[in-house]
Every structure is written in C-alpha cells, then in structure tokens.
Amino acid sequence: MSQKYQAFTLIPKLVKVPPIKALSLFNSSAIDGFHHTHQSISVILHLLLSSEMLSHAQSLLLRLFSDRISSSSFTISSLLDHLTQTHMDFSPHHRLLFDSIVNAHVQLQLPEQSLFYFNQMITKGLMPTSNSFNGLLSFLLRSNNFEKAWGGFENLKGKMEMDVSSFEIMIKGCCENRDLNRAFQVLTQLEDLDGFKLYEKMKLDVVSPNICTYNCVMNQYCKDGKVNKAFEVFDEMRERGIVCNLVTYNTLISGLCHKKRVLEAEKLVGEIERVGLSPDTITYNTLIDGFCNAGKLDKAANLFDKLKANWLSPSLVTYNALISGFSKAGNLARAAELILEMEERGISPSKITYTILIDGFVRCDDMEKAFELYHSMQKAGLETDVCTYGVLISGWCRKLNMKEASRLFKSMNEMNLQPNDVIYNIMIYGYCKEGNSYRAMRLLNEMVENGMVPNTASYICTTQVLCKDGKWKEAEIVLNDMIQLGLKPSSSLCNI
C-alpha cells in the first residue's frame, strides 16, 4: 500500500474523533510502521492547536525533530516548509503553530533554528506569547547569544505585550554580560511601563515590584568591586518604597566582605533584624569567610557559634571557610578539629577541603604531610584538580626542589589537566631561583604559545637570570616582549 494511500485512509479517521483520541490513533499508527506524510502531520497538528492542546502539539514536534517519528516521504526541512507556508488553514492558530515550533527548538537546545522560525513568525506579523518569548530570551542568554537576545527584545518592545519577567530576564542578562548601562536602560523602561496591570501581576507572584531587577544590578556592581554604586541602588530602592529582601542584604554583605570592609558588613546584620528578617546560613557563611580573609579568626569563630545558636546548620561552605582561615594562620590543630566536627555532622570533606589543608601544610613546609593528604584525597575517590597540583608544585618550588616540581608539572598532562598561568609563573619563579635560565625561558615561551600572558615577576626574574648567565641577547628579547605587552620593567632591571 502506497504511503499516500495510507495517509488518505487515516486522515478521515483522525478528523472524525476527539483530538485526544486522534492523537492516540496517530501514535499507534506510527508504532505500527505507518509512514506519515505532510498531510497527516498537518491534520493532527491542526486538531491539537485548534483544541488548544499546546503541550501535546509541542511534544509531537519534539518527537519529529529528534527523529523519533520518521518517514521516507518527507524531511524535517520540507515538513516545516509545508507547515509554515500555510498549506493548511491554520488561522487563527498559526501563531500557536510557530510558538510550538520555536519552543520545540529551544527544548532541543538549537539556537539558530529557534531564531530562524522566531524571525519568520515576526515577518508574518505574528506576535509570540509572553511565555514563548521569555523562554527564547532565557535560552539565548544561557547559550551566550546576548546580542541576539538584546536585538529580539529591542525589536519587539512596544509591539507585543511583554510581562515583567521579560524585563527581568533581560536585566539579568545585561548584568551577567557586564553591561550595566543597558541594564539601567531596561530598568527605566520597566518603571515607565509599570502600570496597574504589571503591579497587580507582581503582587500575585508575591514579588515586590522590581526587587529582582534591583538585586541583579546590585549584585553585578558588587562583583565588579563597585560597592558604593551598589549602595546607591540600595538607597534608590528604599526611596521608591521597594521593600528589600534577604537577597538584597546578602548581596551587599558579600560586596563589602570582598572589599575587606567586614565591620560595615557585620553592621548590616543588625539592619536585617531591625526590618524583621532573619540572617540565614548564606549571611553567616559570607561574614565568616570575610573575617577569615581579613585575619580576624576570633570574630569568625564567634559568628560560627552564633550561627549554631540560631538553630542554623553549618554547611560544607562554612567549614571550608573556617578551615582555610585557620590553615593560613598556621593553626592546623584547630583546622583538624573542624574536620572532625564536620564529619560528626555527616559532612564529608570535598576536594576543596583537602586542597585547603594541603595548602596549610605546604605553608608550614611539611610536604610529607601534604602528600599524605593528597593520597588520602585520591583514596576517597576525589579527583585532583589544577588547584591541588598548583598548591603542591608551589610547595616544591618554595623548597627549590625543582626536580619534584617538574615531575608533578609533567604528570598533569597524564591526568588530562592543563597547567594554568599561576602554575607556569610558579615554575618559572622556581627555575629562576635555582638559576636555571634555560628552563625558565623555555616555560616562558611555552606559556605564550599556549595563549597565556606571563606576569611581570616572571619576565623580570627570567631577564635577571639570563643576564647573570651572560645571555644578553636572550635577555633583551624577553625584556622587549614584556614592554610590548604593556608591562613595566622595574628601575633595577633597566640598570642591569
């Protein structure tokens, strides 16, 4: 029986039964080896869309696009051409058809195809639903297509009814793309459009107007180290009567701690409590880490006790922050006590925990103990990463044991790990201290070949050791390379 005849006999059956029954008949025929045609697929899609069974229509398209339903009578390209060129009268459901096609391509993580059919939809004068548009926006931003997301947003602004989520998605995308000018531009547009309908929707969603967008902008300012700018946004929020939430305060606390303004950060805890909120584990973790990095371990320990007194459970992040603080201070006994406590609470040390402890012993020049922990880490089934190798290599370089440092450096390739610029700079410094100008210069060149930029110290110490070996021509080449990169040589180097 020919495929066209099969379709001819099936189509009348599909249109005579309810859509859900028609879909069941369609699916069973596909399982039985029926070869569907443009016409049979058009009919079932028309039935589903006209009954507003959008999820079923999208699911069917997903199966088609992922080759779970195939036929020798058409390709996906020819099918989509048939569907979108209105060979059947999909009106007034043509918009829903395009929505379903775009959404299916989004679910399959295909940005180019999603955009192609989205643009076709707009060209035909069909506006997407806000849910479909927001899904595409989010997908484009996730797949590093910021400019395309921005173009789509700007093109449709004012042409379709966007909801508050459209603006918030775009503001978040701008912030993540470090484009605060556009973020504020969108924020201003949202405020201009924020009439009664948007406000009511936000209240229904239990979201204070614009709180997410303001938090997003503040978070980016804090990440960029512009804490004072973040506080300007914070003040503007309160002037507009927008109620700050715990995310707002935690964002500011994190920004202050990164700038080592820990005492100011701690004062915000009092404000959190005054507005009727309670600090959470994130609040305490941020402060504990901040005080540890500032070398104020007694204060960090007090905050740790306060966290537990407030019936909050310390997390792996909490313990790692404290273990790091005490290890850097050389108090490895207290770090070991914290390891025991976390294990009693059922929290297993992570590779970050092991690396922190290894670094502690390396700083104390106890390489034997550092390697004991390294082997324990491997026995625990934790993979060694670049950070762990970097710590161990720096330990051998500090001891000027470049033979062991080189052995570890070479073993990284066997583990499919690429040394980063930090490790290269450490190795170069070690060879320079050892007086091995040949190996130092070789690594310097290898670093550049791998697309990395050596730091000023690597250039300076390599130039100095080359001069000591009387390799003036090579030293001059290294010095010129350094200057071309915009790095400034020291006055002592210029006088050699």
Asked whether residue 279 is domain-assigned, the answer is no
pLDDT-derived band at 195 (thresholds 50, 70, 90) equals very low
Asked whether residue 404 is domain-assigned, the answer is no
Asked whether residue 67 is domain-assigned, the answer is yes
Whether 153 and 199 map to the same domain: the answer is: yes
What's the distance, Cα to Cα, between the start and end of the chain in Å?
92
pLDDT-derived band at 206 (thresholds 50, 70, 90) equals very low
Whether 65 and 169 map to the same domain: the answer is: no
Helical H runs in 66-163?
76-84, 94-107, 111-123, 130-142, 146-156
Asked whether residue 142 is domain-assigned, the answer is yes
Q: What is the pLDDT of residues 75-97, one digit of tens each?
A: 777 777 777 775 445 556 778 88
Asked whether residue 324 is domain-assigned, the answer is no
The dihedral built from the CA positions of residue 201, 247, 139 and 43, taken in this order, carries a sign that is: negative
Whether 162 and 74 map to the same domain: the answer is: no
Helix (H, G, I), strand (E, B) or coil at 330: coil
pLDDT-derived band at 258 (thresholds 50, 70, 90) equals very high
Q: How many domains does the chain have?
A: 3
Cβ atoms 181, 189 nearer than 8 A: no
Domain final residue, candidates 189, 212, 244: 244
Whether 102 and 131 map to the same domain: the answer is: no
pLDDT (0 to 100) of residue 372:
95
Q: How far apart are CA 465 and CA 277, in angstroms?
A: 59
In terms of Cβ atoms closer than 10 Å to its own Cβ (0-12, 13-18, 19+), residue 104 is buried
Whether 10 and 101 map to the same domain: the answer is: yes
Q: How many CB atoms lie within 10 A of CB 417?
A: 16
Helix (H, G, I), strand (E, B) or coil at 364: coil
User: Mean pLDDT, the chain, as a whole number?
Assistant: 84
Q: Which of 350, 351, 349, 359 is nearest to 325 (CA)?
A: 359
Q: What is the pLDDT of residues 209-245, one digit of tens each?
A: 467 778 888 888 898 899 999 999 899 888 888 889 9
Q: What angle do CA 366, 367, 370 make, to 5 degrees?
A: 95
Q: Which residues, listed in sequence order, are joined to residue 160 by a DSSP beta bridge?
A: 157
pLDDT (0 to 100) of residue 198:
44
CATH number (domain holding residue 193): 1.25.40.10
Q: How far apart are CA 487 and CA 350, in angstroms?
A: 38
Structure tokens at 292: 């540890």
Cβ atoms 249, 230 nearer than 8 A: no
Helical H runs in 124-261?
130-142, 146-156, 164-176, 180-193, 196-204, 211-223, 227-239, 246-258
Name the more confident of 187 and 468.
Answer: 468
Whether 189 and 227 map to the same domain: the answer is: yes
Q: Above 70 in pLDDT, residue 73?
A: no
pLDDT (0 to 100) of residue 196:
39
Question: What is the average per-residue pLDDT within 170-192?
Answer: 80
pLDDT (0 to 100) of residue 495:
53
Q: Above 90 in pLDDT, residue 174?
A: no
Segments of 35-107 assigned E as strands: none
Q: How many CB atoms lie within 10 A of CB 195?
A: 8
Whether 97 and 136 map to the same domain: the answer is: no
Whether 83 and 135 map to the same domain: the answer is: no
Span of 171-180, 263-272, 433-442, 472-481 with lowest mean pLDDT: 171-180
Q: What is the pLDDT of residues 278-324, one digit of tens each?
A: 999 999 999 999 999 999 999 999 999 999 999 999 999 999 999 99
Q: Above 80 in pLDDT, residue 493?
A: no
Q: Above 50 in pLDDT, residue 483?
A: yes
Q: How far apart are CA 17 and CA 20, in angstroms?
A: 8
Whether 131 and 84 map to the same domain: the answer is: no
Asked whether residue 441 is domain-assigned, the answer is yes
Q: What is the pLDDT of residues 332-358, one digit of tens each?
A: 999 999 999 999 999 999 999 999 999
Distances (CA, A) of 175 to 18, 114, 218, 390: 48, 24, 9, 32
Question: What is the average per-residue pLDDT within 155-167?
Answer: 80
Cis amide linkage into residue 128, ω under 30° from 0? no
Whether 150 and 208 map to the same domain: the answer is: yes
Whether 148 and 232 map to the same domain: the answer is: yes
Cβ atoms 364, 330 nearer than 8 A: yes
Asked whether residue 139 is domain-assigned, the answer is yes
Asked whether residue 383 is domain-assigned, the answer is no
The range of the structural domain enclosing residue 185 comes to 127-244
Question: What is the average per-residue pLDDT within 407-420?
Answer: 93
pTM for this model (two decimals) = 0.67
pLDDT-derived band at 11 (thresholds 50, 70, 90) equals low
Domain final residue, candidates 244, 278, 296: 244
Whether 81 and 137 map to the same domain: the answer is: no
pLDDT (0 to 100) of residue 1:
45
Kindly give, in sequence order, each residue whose CB lies less than 8 Å from that of residue 327, ignoring residues fewer than 6 positions away. Answer: 335, 356, 357, 359, 360, 363
